Structure 1
Amino acid sequence: MPNAYSRAAKAQDKNDNEGIRLQKVLAQAGLGSRRKCEQLIVEGRVEVDGQLVTELGTRVDPLRQEVRLDGSRVHLNPNHVTLALNKPRKVLSAMDDPKGRYTLRDIVGDKYEHIFHMGRLDYDSEGLILMTNDGELSQHVMHPKYEVEKTYIATLDGRIGGNVCRRLVTQGVQLDDGLIRFDRCAIIDAKSDATIVKVVLHSGKNRVVRRVFDAVGYPVRRLVRTQIGPIKLGELKSGSYRVLSQTELRSLSKEVGL
C-alpha cells in the first residue's frame, strides 16, 4: 500500500505533467513576486494562447504555450537570452572572421549558445547592437516590414546649418539603392570645422547614415548608434554588454509585432 510520501510524489509528478502554475511562470520570468504576479492575473492583464486568464490555479507549459502581459509576449524559454552590446570601432559585426579581425564573439565569448547579432554596424562605427538566440524575435527585428527606428549621433566634417537637416527630413537624398529620408535630424553642437547631429531613421540599409551625409558633402568622422526601437545604449561601456530586462524585451517584442 503506498505511503504518504509516494502519494505526494505521484501528485507532484501529475502536477508537473499538467504544467506550472501561471503565477510561478510569470515570477520566474522576472515580472515580480508571486503575489504581484497573482495580482496581474486577477486584474485580467494576462493571456495564455490568446485567451484571457483570471484563475490563479491555471497551469501552463512555458516551452509550448504563449503568454502575454498587457498584449506583449512574455519571454519564458530559460534558454533564450537577448543582449545589448556596445560595439567599439574596429570590431566586425560578425561572429567569426577568416581574416582574424576582432568580432562580436570576442566580446561575448561562448557563454550563450546559438546567439547571433540582429543587424550590423559598419567596421568604423560604434554603439548599440542587439544579440539574441531567440529565433522568432530575431526574424521580427530584422524583417523590413517592421523597420525598427534607430537613433545615431554623428560627428560631421564641416559646419552645417539647420537647412541641411530639414532637407534630409523633408526631401531626403537619392542614393544608388533608393531615396532615403531621415525621420528626424537635429544639430546638437556646431564648431567651425565640425558638427554633431542626432539622426533618427527606420532604414536598415548598409552604411546609410554615412552615405547620406557623404552625398550632401559632409563626411562622417564618427558615428555612434545610441538606440534601437525602445532599447537604449545608456551608460553601457564600449566593448561590454548586458542582458535585456523583461520590461525591455516586452517593449521590443511589441515594437516588432510579437
Structure 2
Amino acid sequence: MPHTNTTSFQDTPHRQGTREERPSDDGAIRLQKLLAQAGFGSRRKCEELITEGRVEVDGELVTQLGTRVNPRSQKVRVDGSRVRLDGRHVTLALNKPRKVLSTMDDPKGRFTLRDIVGDKYERIFHMGRLDYDSEGLILMTNDGELSQHVMHPKYEVAKTYIATIDGHIGGNVCHRLVTQGVQLEDGHISFDRCAIIDSNRDTTIVKVVLHSGRNRIVRRVFAAVGFPVRRLVRTQIGPIRLGDVKPGAYRVLSATEVRSLSKEVGL
C-alpha cells in the first residue's frame, strides 16, 4: 500500500533568525511571526491585523507589535477564531481504500490505518470512521481538543459523498430524500443535498451531502428506498477536501486548512 511522504512547515529547515526572531527560553515568539507561520499572510500583513485590533491573546485585545506569546500555552484568536500553532500537533487527510479498517490495530491482521500512516506521528488517531467497503477521506490528528470537537454531535460537520447506485434513479428520488427523508431503525434522516451526476441503464452516480455521522448512513438510506449502493467515496469533511490524494496515501493539512476546520467546530 503506497505511502505519501509529506512535509509540514515545522519539518522544513529554518533559517537561523535574528536574536529578536528566535524563540525565548520559554518558547515565546513575536505575535506577528506566529500569525505569519499560521498562514495569515506576510509579516507586514500580520502586523496590520494586530494594530487594527483584530487579535486577542488569552482573551485580551493586543495592539502592541512587540508582544511575545507562547503558542503551546497561550490562546491566540484573530477575528474571534482560534489560532492553532502547536508544532507537536499534526492533522492528516487520508484516502482510505476499500478493505481497510478505520482503526489503528486489528487482532485478525487485516489492513488498518496504521498500515498507511505507520508510526511517524505520535498518538495520532482518526476522527470518525468509514465502513470496511467504503473509501475516501478520513481525518487524523494528535490534537486531542480538535478531535473532540470534530467528533462531538454538537459540531457535526457536513460530509460529502459520491455514491454509485445500482439501478437508474430519477431526480424525484433525490428530492424526496432531501425534503422528506426516510425513517430508519435508529431514527429519521434526510440529506442536506442530493444531486445526480451521471446515470445509465444500470447505475446512477449521486453526490450526497449530510451532517449525520451514523454508521453506514448513506448506504442505509438508499437501501431503504430500494437502491443499494455499489460504491461509496467520501470526498469532503467540512471545509477539508480529499483533493488528489491517492488511495492508501495521505497529506498533511496546511495551517490554513486546520484553522478553517477549527473554526467550523467552534474552536
Q: CA deviation at 1:236?
A: 1.4
Alignment partners' CA distance in 2, 1:83 and 1:115: 9
Match of 1:81 in 2: 90
User: Mean Cα displacement is larger for which, 219-228 or 71-80?
Assistant: 71-80
Compared CA separation, residues 198 and 213, structure 1 to 2 (3 A)? same
User: Mean Cα displacement is larger for which, 245-254 or 215-224?
Assistant: 245-254
Q: CA deviation at 1:224?
A: 0.4
TM-score (norm 1): 0.91
Within 5 A, what are the aligned runs for 1:1-258?
A: 16-17=25-26, 19-258=28-267
Q: CA deviation at 1:71?
A: 2.0
Alignment partners' CA distance in 2, 1:44 and 1:149: 32
Q: CA deviation at 1:167?
A: 0.8
Determine what percentage of the aligned residue pairs are the same residue.
80
Q: Give 3-state SS (helix, strand or coil) of 1:145's partner.
A: helix
- Unaligned stretches of 5+ residues in structure 1: 1-8
- Unaligned stretches of 5+ residues in structure 2: 1-18
Q: Give 3-state SS (helix, strand or coil) of 2:206's partner.
A: strand
8 Å Cα contact 1:74-1:246 kept in structure 2: no
Match of 1:5 in 2: none
Compared CA separation, residues 129 and 12, structure 1 to 2 (3 A)? closer
8 Å Cα contact 2:22-2:29 kept in structure 1: no
Q: CA deviation at 1:102?
A: 0.6
The letter for the 2-side match of 1:147 is E
Q: CA deviation at 1:15?
A: 5.4
8 Å Cα contact 1:46-1:68 kept in structure 2: yes
The letter for the 2-side match of 1:42 is T
Larger-Rg structure:
1
User: Mean Cα displacement is larger for which, 68-77 or 21-30?
Assistant: 21-30
8 Å Cα contact 2:165-2:229 kept in structure 1: yes
TM-score (norm 2): 0.88
Q: Give 3-state SS (helix, strand or coil) of 2:175's partner.
A: helix
Number of matched residues? 249
Alignment partners' CA distance in 2, 1:228 and 1:169: 19
Q: Which runs of structure 1 show a deviation greater than 6 angstroms over 4 or more consecutive aligned residues?
A: 11-14
Q: Which has the higher contact order (CA 8 A, sep 6+)?
A: 2
8 Å Cα contact 1:31-1:246 kept in structure 2: no
